[in-house]
Chain A
Amino acid sequence: MQAAAKQETVNTTFRPKILKRKLRLGESAIEAGLFIVGFLTIFVTVSIVIVLGDQALLFFLDPEVTLAEFFMSTKWVPAIGEFGIWALVSATLTTSAIAILVAVPLGLSAAIYLSEYASHRARAVLKPVLEILAGIPTVVYGYFALLFVTPLLRELIGSERIGVYNMLSAGLVMGIMILPLISSMSEDALSAVPNSLREAAYAMGATPFEASTQVVLPAALSGIGAAVIVGISRAVGETMIVAIASGATSEFTFNPLKAAETMTAHIARISGGDLPYGTVDYNSLFAIALMLFLVTLALNIVSQWIVTKFREQYE
């Protein structure tokens, strides 16, 4: 090997002579900076809690408001000092329930089909459809609900029984909006089930359908549960569809054919006007937002906890 001849003497001057730890100011500064940036995300959560909590506290301290009224009453008429959250919660519950009733069966079916049956080519066509649905802004869904689904429903059910604004239309469209979320999370859960389970089922003479519904599906159930919970959280927090399609009357009702205002839609409508800062009405919005935040936070934490547990199960 003549190549090495050139290399006979190694220039050792390039070697560090001292192994002593250097003060690398740049490195430390960068690490500190990155930590601060990472910590900033905590600061966002803390700010949310403080901001919402602070204004909500002002609201509850107002002589016009009592906690009992807030949590028990079914009337929300700020003009006459009635602040019963149930008037808004009822609409949130109704629209979310409709959305979940639409999204869960459809989303789950879609997930099963995509993960257990669909050929490569079918997936290449079907998956983008769901991705496009997931990417459509909610305000567009709102347009669709008000100007397509509602007229359709009025045609089908009769315009004397269902109004221009109604919770049914908003809920249905919200279900379509959440469908891709449920489907993609469920698909993840299904594909996380080890193939050995499927093979075990096939080896015992199960058809693909029996394997997927009786072996794989139950094994993925907790992951699917997590998907449903995230779906609920999304439905509860959704604003634009309900703001556009379900009406602007805060009324305590669970009748999907009627118009009623959800918590989110109420916040959007009231704050959209020029509400003076510091009034009870203004502060009441923060109390509603705080409730929303806490409910969705709890749902998300539960869902994440389930997903983590679920992952551990198969690792």
Chain B
Amino acid sequence: MQTENSPYAIETRNLSIFYGSFEAVKDVNLQIQKQKITAIIGPSGCGKSTLLRAFNRMNDFVPTSRVSGEILLHGTNLYGKEIDPVEVRRRIGMVFQKPNPFPKSIYENIAWGARINGFKGNMDDLVEQSLRGAALWDEVKDKLKQSAYALSGGQQQRLCIARAIAIQPEIILMDEPASALDPISTLRIEELMQELKKNYTIIIVTHNMQQAARVSDYTAMMMLYENTRSGTVIEYDETKTIFTRPKDKRTEEYVTGRFG
């Protein structure tokens, strides 16, 4: 049994991520707070998504990728030799940039993840609870057997969130979850995130500064090293500090729009 009493939800130690010989992300040390929303911001191509995907080992699918340093979940290094990436992804869910529901019914979209993970309880209840949790229940309760592809983009994305919380992870990773959506749908996702953080730790990558300022409690600012083109976290603090009194000059330039 692992200890669940670490003060942090997840932390990285000297984390570097490589694609072949290219070091995409260099030397990141982050302590992510429990049940808070942490935003990762920075200019495009600085390795935000790469860093995010390292948390649930989605980078494993890039054949040349490898990692040095550690990502600790309750003191366990997720990149340890004995760690099963599949188990990691059960504990750390993910919502992708573009809504990617399975081409199945709304119900099946949620039930499938639970079923393969050996869920034993009442599936109907789980589906309802997850859809309510993603603030989608009222809109779809009468058409659970319909294809998820019939939903709007914003609804699809909330379905993907419902799908993620159905397997009851501790942490939900969100990779620019609203970038493909209209402003109204974006707003609903942002409201939803505030509800979700009561139960989950959320890490969100966003290129939208206002969004980061609106939704997150903590913000990590990433930037490229000028000579090596590797990304790293240059500043990590409470969101209001980052946006009002950043310590780093580059952060200030970026958040005020003078850089980028």
Chain A in direct contact with chain B (Cβ < 8 angstroms): yes
Q: Which residues of A contact B (CB under 8 A)?
A: 1, 3-4, 6-12, 14-22
Which residue on chain B has the smallest CB distance to residue A13?
B168
Among candidates B73, B78, B129, B169, residue contacting A7 with C-beta atoms closer than 8 Å: B129
Residues A14 and B78 in contact in the complex (CB < 8 Å), given A4-B132, A19-B73, A20-B84: no
**Number of A-B pairs, beta carbon distance below 8 Å:** 70
Whether A15 lies near B2 (C-beta < 8 A) is no
Q: Which residues of B contact A (CB under 8 A)?
A: 1-2, 73, 76, 78, 82-84, 86-88, 90-91, 117, 119, 129, 132-133, 135, 137-138, 167-170, 191-192, 195, 198-200
Whether B73 lies near A4 (C-beta < 8 A) is no
The interface residues of chain B lying within 8 Å CB-to-CB of A16 are: 87, 90-91
Among candidates A3, A8, A14, A18, residue contacting B137 with C-beta atoms closer than 8 Å: A3
The interface residues of chain A lying within 8 Å CB-to-CB of B192 are: 1
In the assembled complex, the Cα of A20 lies from the Cα of B170 at a distance in Å of 17
Whether A3 lies near B133 (C-beta < 8 A) is yes
The interface residues of chain B lying within 8 Å CB-to-CB of A15 are: 90-91, 168-170
Whether A7 lies near B133 (C-beta < 8 A) is yes
The interface residues of chain B lying within 8 Å CB-to-CB of A22 are: 84, 86-87
Whether A21 lies near B82 (C-beta < 8 A) is yes
Whether B135 lies near A19 (C-beta < 8 A) is no
The interface residues of chain B lying within 8 Å CB-to-CB of A8 are: 198-199
CB distance from A1 to the nearest CB of B (A): 5
CB distance from A4 to the nearest CB of B (A): 4
The interface residues of chain B lying within 8 Å CB-to-CB of A12 are: 168, 170
Among candidates B2, B117, B169, B200, residue contacting A17 with C-beta atoms closer than 8 Å: B2
Provide 26 A-B residue pairs closer than 8 Å at the C-beta atoms, listed in order of the A residue: A1-B191, A3-B132, A3-B133, A3-B135, A3-B137, A6-B133, A7-B129, A7-B133, A7-B195, A7-B199, A8-B198, A8-B199, A10-B168, A10-B199, A15-B90, A15-B91, A17-B1, A18-B1, A18-B87, A19-B2, A19-B73, A19-B83, A19-B84, A21-B83, A22-B84, A22-B86
CB distance from A13 to the nearest CB of B (A): 9
CB distance from A10 to the nearest CB of B (A): 5
Among candidates A4, A7, A14, A20, residue contacting B167 with C-beta atoms closer than 8 Å: A14
CB distance from B63 to the nearest CB of A (A): 15
Whether A20 lies near B82 (C-beta < 8 A) is yes
Among candidates A7, A14, A18, residue contacting B132 with C-beta atoms closer than 8 Å: A7
